[in-house]
């Protein structure tokens, strides 16, 4: 996922390194 982009809830994630892991875990994509 690109840096600075909001997550699927429309909220800007506090930490992108964790968000990429969360994206992969929840959505099966990074």
User: How many CA atoms does the CB half-sphere of 1 hold within 13 Å?
Assistant: 21
Q: Are 20 and 1 in contact (CB under 8 A)?
A: yes
For 3, the token pair is 């840096």
Q: Are 16 and 1 in contact (CB under 8 A)?
A: yes
- pLDDT tens for residues 1-30? 455 555 556 665 566 666 666 665 555 554
Q: Are 7 and 20 in contact (CB under 8 A)?
A: no
pTM over 0.85: no
Q: Are 19 and 26 in contact (CB under 8 A)?
A: no
């Amino acid at each position: 996922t690109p840096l600075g982009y909001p997550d699927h809830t429309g909220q800007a994630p506090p930490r992108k390194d964790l968000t990429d892991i969360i994206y992969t875990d929840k959505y099966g994509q990074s």
